[in-house]
């Protein structure tokens, strides 16, 4: 009896904390970052839904002794973490493209109906699935591994991006949250491995302890992500109380930037960056541009987000277009020559950016 109460209490605690984290994640956005939530909190909507998804564990509170409900409960996180980890990484660090969404939805054609089927049986609270026994475990394990392959691929992409940034090959990507990426890169996959252990151990007590571990983990992550994990925040925090004043003497902290000011900054950017070809300098960055235009970096960042997508995509698109023309004019040029003459620090960076450009993912 005490074992059942402990398991139910752990499940209830996880559900309650998840709902609270979901509500906090949705409504709480630090100022002044709430003025541009799509940039500073790109995964806010998805993470909110991911937290609230713990509500689907409710059947375990009412039918904890049902074999069907128990199978559904211990299977839940086998599907949850590959989906949550992959989508959250893609949306926060890479941006979710329509092509990627289509590919991932195709991958979920089988798991989603199966999840709904198990959820219905868990709500009924019977023992209909007893006849399958061991084969059920193997089937769910294989499906989970298929989803986890996508998670592992995304994890390795992110880890490679971290390594590139550390080595300086993404030196122009000022908004990449390196510290946060290092902290979270392996968490989803590691927790998925742990969920496999819980699944095969088949212990309700072990599962309850796993629930409590997940609760603590999500509380820690919630506290971290409430503050935007962007390097641009450091600049805003330094300038927000000081000299964030532009042409018409309005402050970024209290008022949005007037359209006329944005238009003026946009034109200055195009005149300086494109006409003077500043992008051909591998060390060209937003600080250099801000000094060249004698404007505030915060204003500059806002204009880039709204008019160009990002500094990184704008500058590297210009470099790729220049590289294409250069190659047309010098058909015998090596990759090293093309990269060096087009503003890329290394051929590896050139190849990475070229692939992103050709795939329509240079954002």
For 52-75, the pLDDT digits (tens) are 999 999 999 999 888 889 989 999
Q: What is the pLDDT of residues 186-220, one digit of tens each?
A: 999 999 999 999 999 989 999 999 999 999 999 99
Range of weakest confidence among 9-23, 286-300, 311-325: 286-300
Tokens at residue 259, please? 């359209």
β-pair partners for 245: 251
| pLDDT for position 54 | 93
pLDDT confidence of residue 64: 85
Residue 306 confidence class, pLDDT cut points 50, 70, 90 = confident
The pLDDT value given to residue 256: 67
- For residue 316, pLDDT over 80 is answered with yes
Place of tokens 């959250």: 88
**Statement: residue 103 has pLDDT above 90:** no
Is pLDDT above 50 for 125? Answer: yes
User: Angle CA(338)–CA(340)–CA(341) in degrees, nearest 5?
Assistant: 65
What confidence score (pLDDT) does residue 250 get?
41
Token representation of residue 157: 């992409």
Q: Confidence class of residue 257 from pLDDT cuts 50, 70 and 90?
A: confident
**What SS3 string covers the chain?**
CHHHHHHHHHHHHHHHHHHHHHHHHHHCCCCCHHHCHHHHCCCHHHHHHHHHHHHHHCHHHHCCCCHHHHHHHHHHHHHHHHHHHHHHHHHHHHCCCHHHHHHHHHHCCCHHHHHHHHHHHHHHCCCHHHHCCHHHHHHHHHHHHHHHHHHHHHHHHHHHHHHHHHHCCCCCCCCCCHHHHHHHCCHHHHHHHHHHHHHHHCCHHHHHHHHHHHHHHHHHHHHHHCCCCCCHHHHHHHHCCCCCECCCCCECCCCCCCHHHHHHHHHHHHHHHHHCCHHHCCCCCHHHHHHHHCCCHHHHHHHHHHHHCCHHHHHHHHHHHHHHHHHHHCCCCCHHHHHHHCCCCCHHHHHHHHHHHHCCCCC
pLDDT of residue 41: 82
Average pLDDT over residues 125-138: 73
Phi, then psi, of 245 in degrees rounded to 5: -120, 130
Q: Answer whether residue 255 shows pLDDT above 90.
A: no
Range name among 21-35, 86-100, 229-243, 273-287 with the lowest pLDDT average: 229-243
CB 296 within 8 Å of CB 244: yes
pLDDT tier at 240, thresholds 50, 70, 90: very low
Tell whether the model's pLDDT for residue 241 goes beyond 50.
Answer: no
Q: Please give the residue that has the higher pLDDT: either 193 or 31.
A: 193
Count CB neighbours of 55 within 10 A.
11
Residue 246, CA distances (Å) to 33, 235, 243, 252, 270 in order: 19, 16, 9, 9, 19
Report residue 246's pLDDT band, with 50, 70 and 90 as the boundaries.
very low
Q: Alpha carbon 179 to chain centroid distance? A: 14
Cβ-Cβ contacts under 8 Å for 67 (sequence gap 6 or more): 127, 129, 130
Average pLDDT, the chain: 82
Tally of CB atoms within 10 A around 305: 17
pLDDT at 244 over 90: no
The CB density around residue 59, as the number of other CB atoms within 10 Å, is: 23
For 119-139, what is the mean pLDDT? 79
Return the percentage of the chain with pLDDT > 70, whole number.
85
Mean pLDDT of 125-141: 75
pLDDT reported for residue 186: 94
Share of the chain above pLDDT 90, in %: 29
pLDDT computed for residue 263 by the predictor: 85
Is the per-residue pLDDT at 238 higher than 80?
no
Global pTM reads 0.64
């Amino acid at each position: 009896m005490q074992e059942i109460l402990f398991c139910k209490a752990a499940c209830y605690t996880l559900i309650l904390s998840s709902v609270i984290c979901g509500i906090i994640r949705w409504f709480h956005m630090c100022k002044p970052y709430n003025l541009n939530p799509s940039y500073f909190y790109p995964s806010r909507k998805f993470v909110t839904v991911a937290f609230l998804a713990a509500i689907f564990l409710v059947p375990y509170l009412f039918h904890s002794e049902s074999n069907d409900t128990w199978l559904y409960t211990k299977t839940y996180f086998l599907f949850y973490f590959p989906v949550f980890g992959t989508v959250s990484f893609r949306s926060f660090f890479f941006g979710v493209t329509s092509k990627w969404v289509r590919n991932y939805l195709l991958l979920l054609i089988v798991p989603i109906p199966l999840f709904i089927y198990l959820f219905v049986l868990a709500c009924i609270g019977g023992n209909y699935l007893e006849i399958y026994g061991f084969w059920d475990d193997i089937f769910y394990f294989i499906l989970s591994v298929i989803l986890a392959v996508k998670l592992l691929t995304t994890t390795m992409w992110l880890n490679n991006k971290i390594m590139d940034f550390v080595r300086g090959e993404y030196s122009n990507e000022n908004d990449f949250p390196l510290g946060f990426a290092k902290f979270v890169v392996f968490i989803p996959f590691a927790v998925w491995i742990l969920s496999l252990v819980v699944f095969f151990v088949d212990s309700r007590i072990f599962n309850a302890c796993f629930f409590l571990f997940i609760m603590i983990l999500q509380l820690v992550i919630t506290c971290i992500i409430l503050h935007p994990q962007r390097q641009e925040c450091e600049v805003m925090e330094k300038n927000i109380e000081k000299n964030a004043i532009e042409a018409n003497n309005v402050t970024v902290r209290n008022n949005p930037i007037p359209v006329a000011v944005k238009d003026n900054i946009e034109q200055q950017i195009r005149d300086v960056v494109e006409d003077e070809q500043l992008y051909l300098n591998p060390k060209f960055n937003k600080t250099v541009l801000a000094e060249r235009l004698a404007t505030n970096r915060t204003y500059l960042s806002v204009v880039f987000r709204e008019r160009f997508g990002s500094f990184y995509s704008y500058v590297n698109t210009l470099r790729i277009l220049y590289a294409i023309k250069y190659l047309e004019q010098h058909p015998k040029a090596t990759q090293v020559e093309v990269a060096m003459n087009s503003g890329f620090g290394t051929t590896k960076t050139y190849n990475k950016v070229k692939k992103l450009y050709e795939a329509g993912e240079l954002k």
